[in-house]
């Protein structure tokens, strides 16, 4: 290690796989919905932590079947087919894990950095996402929102992750996520962050630059 960073924290969806937000926009366009509307119906106001069904699912408060029914009803009220399973089908058609990000994470582990996954997720997805990447090889700590009862952008989930990594100070951690609100929440705590877009090139370059910065 040559930088003043000791730990790298990764989001999962949108970092190791294509973004569900992109799939929501693609679905919305196919349905003729206003830009951003399907994403908000399915995922709620993602810059906040609310009682939207998807947020409750990610905190482990309700099962997927209940969240799905509630989200379908929200869309139906506007004449929109907002079944989240349609998003899952689009995401599945986009392929599996991003090989470039998996390789970069392996390299980071090999260089001696502490690593963690900090993911907004659902109990029902646990087996499927773990099959996409060598999770136990890539992450020394896994913090799943549905298991800990809190979700990004709640600052407590970042603090919990750093504590589980052995008490890493925020200023010595780096975080990658595809949601700008999650990046902003991490940066507010002093965690340097990289916003990941559909094209990984810029994010990987920013990651490399931060990890190569001199102490």
pLDDT of residue 70: 97
At residue 215 the predicted structure's pLDDT band, cuts being 50, 70 and 90, is very low
pLDDT in tens, 109-137: 999 999 999 999 999 999 999 999 999 99
At residue 98 the predicted structure's pLDDT band, cuts being 50, 70 and 90, is very high
Task: For residue 27, tell me if it sits in a domain.
Answer: yes
Residue 196 and residue 19: Cα distance in Å, rounded? Answer: 9
Are both 29 and 11 inside the same structural domain? no
Name the helix (H) or strand (E) containing 133: none
**Which of 85-89, 197-201, 205-209 has the highest average model confidence (pLDDT)?**
205-209
pLDDT of residue 163: 98
Average pLDDT, the chain: 93
Task: For residue 2, tell me if it sits in a domain.
Answer: no
Percent of the chain with pLDDT over 90: 80
pTM of the model as a whole: 0.92
Domain that holds residue 85: 20-93
Are both 130 and 203 inside the same structural domain? yes
Is residue 180 scored above 60 in pLDDT?
yes
Are both 89 and 130 inside the same structural domain? no
Is residue 38 scored above 70 in pLDDT?
yes
Residue 86 and residue 40: Cα distance in Å, rounded? Answer: 15
Are both 84 and 119 inside the same structural domain? no
Percent of the chain with pLDDT over 70: 96
In this structure, what is the dihedral angle of CA atoms 135, 136, 142, 145, given to the nearest 10 degrees? 50
At residue 93 the predicted structure's pLDDT band, cuts being 50, 70 and 90, is low
Q: Which CATH number do you get for residue 197? A: 3.40.50.1000
pLDDT of residue 2: 57
Sheet-wide strand order for 192-195:
141-144, 114-119, 7-10, 173-177, 192-195
Are the beta carbons of 156 and 138 closer than 8 angstroms?
no
Are both 103 and 194 inside the same structural domain? yes
pLDDT of residue 213: 60
Is residue 164 scored above 50 in pLDDT?
yes
pLDDT in tens, 22-36: 888 888 888 888 988
Is residue 1 scored above 80 in pLDDT?
no
Last-in-domain residue among 93, 118, 153 = 93
pLDDT of residue 105: 97
pLDDT in tens, 59-77: 999 999 999 999 999 999 9
């Amino acid at each position: 290690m040559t930088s003043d960073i000791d730990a790298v924290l990764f989001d999962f969806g949108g970092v190791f796989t294509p973004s569900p937000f992109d799939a929501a926009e693609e679905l919305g366009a196919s349905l003729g919905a206003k830009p951003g509307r399907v994403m908000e119906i399915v995922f709620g106001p993602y810059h906040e932590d609310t009682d939207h069904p998807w947020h409750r699912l990610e905190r482990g408060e309700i099962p997927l079947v209940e969240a799905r029914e509630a989200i379908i009803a929200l869309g139906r009220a506007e004449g929109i087919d907002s079944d989240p399973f349609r998003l899952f089908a689009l995401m599945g058609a986009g392929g599996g894990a991003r090989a470039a990000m998996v390789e970069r994470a392996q390299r980071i582990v090999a260089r001696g950095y502490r690593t963690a996954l900090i993911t907004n997720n659902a109990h029902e997805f646990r087996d499927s996402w773990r099959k996409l990447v060598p999770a136990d090889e890539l992450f020394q700590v896994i913090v799943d929102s549905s298991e800990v009862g809190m979700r990004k952008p709640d600052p407590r989930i970042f603090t919990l992750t750093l504590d589980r990594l052995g008490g890493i100070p925020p200023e010595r951690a780096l975080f990658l996520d595809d949601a700008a609100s999650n990046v902003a929440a991490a940066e507010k705590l002093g965690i340097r962050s990289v916003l990941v877009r559909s094209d990984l090139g810029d994010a990987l370059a920013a990651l490399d630059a931060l990890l190569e910065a001199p102490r």
